[in-house]
Amino acid sequence: MERCPNCRARWDGGEHCRRCGLDLKPLLAVEQAAHRRIARALGRLAEGDRERALTDLAQARALHREPFIDLLLGLIRSDAASERLAEAAFVTAGAQTHQTPASDMPRAAGPVRRAMVDFPDWPFLPRSEPRLEDQAS
């Protein structure tokens, strides 16, 4: 939280707004719940559970709008689309090799080569970087 939702005064880190006195504890609790869901989603991504990570991120986004959540959602969806594209290319290349018998292929063409596409793993932060759950609340 950067500003009081009531009077738009800058938040000084306290539990009450310095200008209007609004109790900010419930709002801070909602933000913390969203951050816990983001951390859980990152853990699930590390385990390879993309669907449950998407669910956690959608819940976090419903609690608290943050650009980081949208970036993670876009990254996961992009990674899934790239994976489906690579699988489709592999299946298509495999189907091409089995469609035409070798005796019917022209000699100049030679065998059909299939290229495997290697996608790097998710670029997680190194352990030396501070993690969300390690930060003081």
Model pLDDT for residues 72-123, shown as the tens digit of each residue: 988 888 887 777 777 777 666 555 555 555 555 555 544 445 544 444 444 4
Q: What pLDDT, on a 0 to 100 scale, did the predictor assign at position 124?
A: 47
Number of domains present in the structure of the chain:
1
Assess if residue 118 is contained within a domain: no
pLDDT at 130 over 90: no
Query: Domain range holding 1?
Result: 1-98
Assess if residue 91 is contained within a domain: yes
Report the SS3 class of residue 40.
helix
The CA-to-CA distance between both ends of the chain, in Å, stands at 12
The pair of three-digit structure tokens given for residue 131, joined into one six-digit string: 């993690």
| Whole-structure pTM value | 0.58
Assess if residue 131 is contained within a domain: no
Assess if residue 50 is contained within a domain: yes
